[in-house]
Amino acid sequence: MIQRTKGEKVFNVFNYIILSLLALTTLYPFLYTFTISISTKLAADTVGLHILPEWGQITLDPYKLVFRNPEIWTAYGWTLFRTIVGTTLSVFVTCFYGYALSRPNLMWKKFFSTYLMITMIFHGGQIPTFLNIKALGLLNNVWVYILPLLISAYNTIVAKSFFVGIPESLNESAKIDGAGEFRTFFQIIMPLSKPVIMTLALWAAVNHWNSWFDSMLYMTSGKKIVVQQYIQRIVNENNTAAITDFGAGENAAQNLTSETVKSASIMVTVIPILCFYPFVQRFFIKGVTLGAVKG
Our CA angle for 33, 35, 41, nearest 5°, is 100
The domains of the chain, with CATH numbers, are 1-59 (no CATH), 60-295 (1.10.3720.10)
pLDDT tens for 12-34 read: 889 999 999 998 888 888 888 88
How much of the chain exceeds pLDDT 70, in percent? 86
pLDDT tens for 211-228 read: 888 888 898 877 888 988
Q: Is there a contact between 260 and 44 (Cβ–Cβ < 8 Å)?
A: yes
Closest CA to 273 of 216, 223, 204, 212: 204
Going by pLDDT thresholds of 50, 70 and 90, the confidence category of residue 175 is confident
Closest CA to 271 of 49, 2, 52, 63: 63
- Which of 57-66, 80-89, 203-212, 229-238 has the least mean pLDDT? 229-238
Helices (H), strands (E): how many in the chain? 15, 0
Q: What is the pTM of this model?
A: 0.79
Average pLDDT, the chain: 81
